[in-house]
Amino acid sequence: MKMNRKKKSQTITEREDEIEQDERYFVKIHAPFEALLVLAEKLKVKLPFSENKSPLKPSLFDQGLPCQSTRLNPCEFPTPHKGKSFFTACYQKSLHYRFSKYFDDVDKVFRPSERSRLVYETLLRCPYRSSEPMLSDKFNHSMNGTKDELSEIDSRLTNHNLNRKMLQATASEDQTLKIEEVFTSSTRQSGIEVLLKEGVYEAAYPLHDQLSREQDAGEPETWNDRMKLYHRWAKLKNIFRIQPIHAIRDYYGERLAFYFAWLGWYNSLLIIPSILGIFVLLWGLLSVKYDRPTLDICNSTSSYLMCPKLDRQSYWFLNETCFNAKMSYIFDNSASVAFAIMISIFAVSINFLWQRHEFRLQYEWDMTDIAEETETLRPDFERRVEKTIINKVTDKLEPYVPAYKRFLYYTSSFSIVVLMVLLVLAVVTGIVIYRLSVSAAFNTIDREMSIYRWKPIIVPITGALINLIIILILQYFYEILAIWLTNVELHRTDKTYEASLTIKMFLFQFVNYYASIFYIALIKPLIIYKPTYLDRHSIAFRFEECDVSGCVWELSIQLITIMIGKQLISNIWEFYFSKLWNMCRKRITFRHTVRQINKRNAKMKKLDEPILPINLKRSYEEDFLLQPFELTTLFYEYLEIILQFGFITFFCLSFPLAPLFACINNIFEIRIDALKVVKEFRRPVARRAMGIGTWNSILKIMAKITVLSNAFLIAITSEYIPRQVYYWTIGNYSLNGFLNHTLAPFHSNDFPLIINRTLLECQFIESRLIDLSKQSTFFIPFGQSYHLSYFDCNSTLANEIRSQIDFSTCYYKDYRLDHTRNCERSYMFYYVMVARLAFVIIFEHFVYSIIFLVRSLISRVPRNVRAQLNRCRYLVQQMYWGAELYAQNPNLIKKDENRVRIDEQDHEYNRQSTLPSLTTIPNELNFDACVTPEL
């Protein structure tokens, strides 16, 4: 653990090079093994007490694919304790004899992350204005910045190293009392985070291991933990290699390890939907040429004269939408409907399956049966709150925020969040207006221009790109706003702070990213207007309608643009921003420090003695120049993947390749995040965690939304239900005539008086003549310009086209009767509506029935893990029963050791005779199959 402190008008001289440094002091805090044992008892750290003769077998996610390039080298990531596994229990001093026989190497009893956590937990409780020393001399820690005290620290460190062998016994009573005082102190003036907030110290962080080039580091077996993680995990060349999750946990702690474990596990599960999505897309591409409704649209001529629409101000032929019809069928077919059902089952079951894997990791990482830790107060809360009250739990004086103030803060914060959500909805409305304006603009340009043919693609793509840009801008500003609002709420602990920030960010980002997509998917298909609503008064209040072939193709463009665009921008931003930010910190913020380091290194290189490049580096200086690992750093990574999960599950019907693109993105996301953590960020303080926490609940919510979204997407947006209704009722098991069945006739005499029918006909004839001229069918003798001002609508050529087309009736997509029955709804409209509602209910019950069946047959806790856990609890209970008795009568310890040895021999005999299935195969000892794989 390293802390640096900056003083005015003071300098420090390094003993080894006597080069003047910047006015910044680095204080190293070291906790010897004996002090760590005392802290381990206070913080309920689990240590091994009994060997496990039947460890868990390695899972598929630990082994990787059956090829050498995907597996970890056992020489570089060896299994600790030579493949042995141990049961663990919370350390107790009275039972030290049960734990000490497994202390083969005191430097490896506590993992590096566990060491830093124990020291930092002590710093969080240290009183900083007490007249007494905060810890014993063995901690080698001083809070003063004078030269004398720093020299004293150095001397104590030297004495400690010389007398290390003399300090291998238990901690002294004086040291235990000092630590007890720290943990039971009643003063409010305590904690390193308060000092950091007040500016007394600039930073407090665990030190990274030295990082060097692969060719300068020697044999891989001798590398430190950071070197192994960087060269065998973080680099992009390792994208197909499984992650060393247990090594990540040893170096960074459980909280960060659970994130990478969840991301890798989730990405492995995406392989199956990715393969299915490819087959669904291929099925659509191969079967589109046999789809009867699509062929009818593409082959239609003057038999289907379509009525004017808001984005088409004149008559038009149905075959003009041939491209949209084909693309819609490629994404919207019977295979894609089955794919949507599978994805819904996948979304609902993924949380249940992850909890099984999560519980296994909890057991392997000793995170089961741990007591909830008492969280310290947030420094910002202590600094800003003036009113105090006695805490009924700790019986200490603590800051207190009255209920009416909290209600005022929460109400104000909620109001601003709602305002931002309404702003997002206003943006969606603006995008709709933009699309209508561009469509109207296209209708005014010359149809001879090549850009006119790209109208079906240009309009939705440009709208989606503008929407994506606005989404990213709003996201940036809202992140700042959400953090400010959460700070204003004055949360007492980091746990409530993170929960409040998670709710705000998730709610806003959910609306921000999904609002426009949900509008196209679920609202736009319901907007259908009769041609009578073409007058100027109604146009101002009209939204756009879907194409005749549906909104699936437009939905696909929106989803592809936002999803893939966000992933590309996020990965590029993450990869380069960290490097750029560190570069700016070194050249601007800490330029004096960097200059002093460079001068010192230059002078050392001029010495006669050869110096390796790695010897010039000082880890505490290099780590200080890196970015700090903030509380919200991991939060943004979780949020990014959760939003991606929504993209691939909510709208899988419109883009079957979404899981494939997500899988490819996550392969690089893992390495980019690993590279940032290993190289660009300071080493975070290790924190214990039992899983991914609140994100489990968010995944459950997302899964329920997935089922409803896919059900309504198939029922409303897709053409699947209308086709099936026609196929089984009117079509006699065929889709012949389905197109005509979905089009409603409209008599031109029913147009409002404000509509000039002659003008509509002339506009259509002019556009038709332009299209025919491109096909060399007619010779148009009236010049090169075909604008209406130069076109004679009563010419012989125009009358000839008019005689071939019946302008008395046009069609629009809806289930309505003709004008003789006032364009009322037909009976098929109600049939289809009932079928859609029935499908939603059946779909939902079908998915949840399968999930209920799976959960009934498969336990949330794996059976082998439950057996191991019950065995461990039994041994712990036996050990604790005699703890006080053995502490009072040391002579009984020898008898207890003999009893334990006999019990282990009996258990080994019974295991070999009755439980052969739990025996570990010798050649599997290379894998991480231990209960406590790395201690």
Which has the closest alpha carbon to 525: 653, 702, 360?
653
pLDDT in tens, 833-872: 999 999 999 999 999 898 888 888 888 888 888 888 888 8
Look at residue 136 in the predicted model and tell me its pLDDT: 39
Cβ contact 201:218 at 8 Å: no
pLDDT in tens, 391-403: 776 667 777 888 8
The residue to which tokens 């003549």 are assigned: 769
Q: What residues does 51 pair with on adjacent strands?
A: 86
pLDDT in tens, 467-492: 889 998 988 888 888 888 888 888 88
Cβ contact 727:334 at 8 Å: no
Residue 49 neighbours by CB distance under 10 Å: 24
Question: Does the pLDDT at position 895 exceed 80?
Answer: no
Burial class (CB in 10 A: 0-12, 13-18, 19+), 472: middle
Q: Cα 888 vs. chain centroid, distance in angstroms?
A: 53
Q: What residues does 204 pair with on adjacent strands?
A: 3
Cβ contact 369:746 at 8 Å: no
Which has the closest alpha carbon to 816: 806, 807, 826, 803?
826
Look at residue 188 in the predicted model and tell me its pLDDT: 57
Look at residue 286 in the predicted model and tell me its pLDDT: 92
Q: What residues does 47 pair with on adjacent strands?
A: 89
Q: What average pLDDT does this structure show over 150-158? A: 42
- Compute the radius of gyration of the chain from its Cα atoms: 35
| Element counts in the chain: helices (H) and strands (E) | 34, 11
Look at residue 773 in the predicted model and tell me its pLDDT: 64
Cβ contact 703:348 at 8 Å: yes
Question: Does the pLDDT at position 711 exceed 90?
Answer: yes
The DSSP 8-state label assigned to residue 248 in this structure reads H
Among the listed ranges 398-407, 504-513, 594-603, 716-725, which one has the minimum average pLDDT value?
Answer: 594-603
For the record, the structure tokens of 597 come out as 């380091």
The residue type found at 160 is: H
Q: What is the 3-state secondary structure (H, E, C) of 205-235?
A: ECCCCCCCCHHHCCCHHHCCHHHHHHHHHHC
Look at residue 934 in the predicted model and tell me its pLDDT: 36
Assign 374 to helix, strand or coil. coil
Assign 607 to helix, strand or coil. coil
Question: Does the pLDDT at position 278 exceed 90?
Answer: yes
Pairing of strands 24-28, 46-52: unpaired
For the record, the structure tokens of 11 come out as 């300098």
Look at residue 161 in the predicted model and tell me its pLDDT: 43
Cα dist from 798 to 301, 306, 775, whole Å: 18, 19, 17
Phi, psi of 3 (to 5 degrees): -125, 140
CA–CA gap between residue 24 and residue 714 (Å, rounded): 64
Residue 162 neighbours by CB distance under 10 Å: 9
Look at residue 880 in the predicted model and tell me its pLDDT: 78
Question: Does the pLDDT at position 780 exceed 60?
Answer: no
Look at residue 790 in the predicted model and tell me its pLDDT: 55
Per-domain boundaries in the chain: 235-605+639-723
CA–CA gap between residue 122 and residue 497 (Å, rounded): 22
pLDDT in tens, 640-691: 999 999 999 999 888 999 999 999 999 999 999 999 999 889 899 888 888 8
CA–CA gap between residue 63 and residue 430 (Å, rounded): 51
Which has the closest alpha carbon to 337: 271, 284, 261?
284
Query: Of 7-11, 175-179, 464-468, 793-797, which one has max mean pLDDT?
Result: 464-468
* DSSP H or E run through 905: helix 892-914
Q: Cα 320 vs. chain centroid, distance in angstroms?
A: 42
List of E strands, 63-112 = 85-90
Q: What is the per-residue DSSP string for 709-767?
A: HHHHIIIIISSHHHHHHHHHTTSSS--TTHHHHHEEEEEGGGS-TTS-HHHHHHHHHHH
* DSSP H or E run through 4: strand 2-6
For the record, the structure tokens of 438 come out as 């561009």
pLDDT band for 218, please (50, 70, 90 cuts).
confident
Q: What is the pTM of this model?
A: 0.82
Look at residue 763 in the predicted model and tell me its pLDDT: 79
CA–CA gap between residue 687 and residue 785 (Å, rounded): 74
Look at residue 885 in the predicted model and tell me its pLDDT: 65
* DSSP H or E run through 27: strand 24-28
Question: Does the pLDDT at position 935 exceed 60?
Answer: no
Cβ contact 185:122 at 8 Å: no
Q: What is the per-residue DSSP string for 774-802?
A: HTTSS---S-S---GGG--TTSHHHHHHH
CA–CA gap between residue 172 and residue 137 (Å, rounded): 12
pLDDT in tens, 320-349: 888 888 988 999 888 999 999 999 999 999
The residue type found at 122 is: T
- Pairs from 599-605 (Cβ < 8 Å, separation ≥ 24): 599/19, 600/14, 600/17, 600/19, 600/21, 603/17, 603/19, 604/17
Look at residue 1 in the predicted model and tell me its pLDDT: 67
Sheet of strand 305-306: strand arrangement: 316-317, 305-306, 809-813, 743-747
Question: Does the pLDDT at position 174 exceed 80?
Answer: no
Assign 240 to helix, strand or coil. coil
The residue type found at 738 is: F
Assign 314 to helix, strand or coil. coil
CA–CA gap between residue 272 and residue 662 (Å, rounded): 12
Look at residue 529 in the predicted model and tell me its pLDDT: 79
Sheet of strand 24-28: strand arrangement: 24-28, 2-6, 203-205
Question: Does the pLDDT at position 928 exceed 50?
Answer: no
Assign 388 to helix, strand or coil. strand
Among the listed ranges 119-128, 148-157, 268-277, 844-853, which one has the minimum average pLDDT value?
Answer: 148-157
For the record, the structure tokens of 185 come out as 């102190």
Cβ contact 871:89 at 8 Å: no
Assign 447 to helix, strand or coil. coil
pLDDT in tens, 56-79: 877 766 665 555 667 777 777 877
Q: What residues does 317 pair with on adjacent strands?
A: 305
Question: Does the pLDDT at position 500 exceed 80?
Answer: yes
Assign 59 to helix, strand or coil. coil
Question: Does the pLDDT at position 540 exceed 50?
Answer: no
For the record, the structure tokens of 598 come out as 């460079």
CA–CA gap between residue 658 and residue 560 (Å, rounded): 8
pLDDT band for 600, please (50, 70, 90 cuts).
confident
Cβ contact 135:178 at 8 Å: yes
CA–CA gap between residue 102 and residue 124 (Å, rounded): 30
Query: Mean pLDDT of all residues in the chain?
Result: 78
Q: What average pLDDT does this structure show over 21-42? A: 80
Question: Does the pLDDT at position 890 exceed 70?
Answer: no
CA–CA gap between residue 231 and residue 222 (Å, rounded): 13
- Percent of the chain residues past pLDDT 90, beyond the cut: 15
What angle, rounded to 10 degrees, do the helices at 658-675 and 552-584 form? 10
Look at residue 839 in the predicted model and tell me its pLDDT: 93
Q: What is the per-residue DSSP string for 402-437?
A: -HHHHHHHHHHHHHHHHHHHHHHHHHHHHHHHHHHH
Q: What is the per-residue DSSP string for 451-511?
A: GGGGHHHHHHHHHHHHHHHHHHHHHHHHHHHHHHHHHHT--SSHHHHHHHHHHHHHHHHHH
Assign 94 to helix, strand or coil. helix
Question: Does the pLDDT at position 433 exceed 50?
Answer: yes
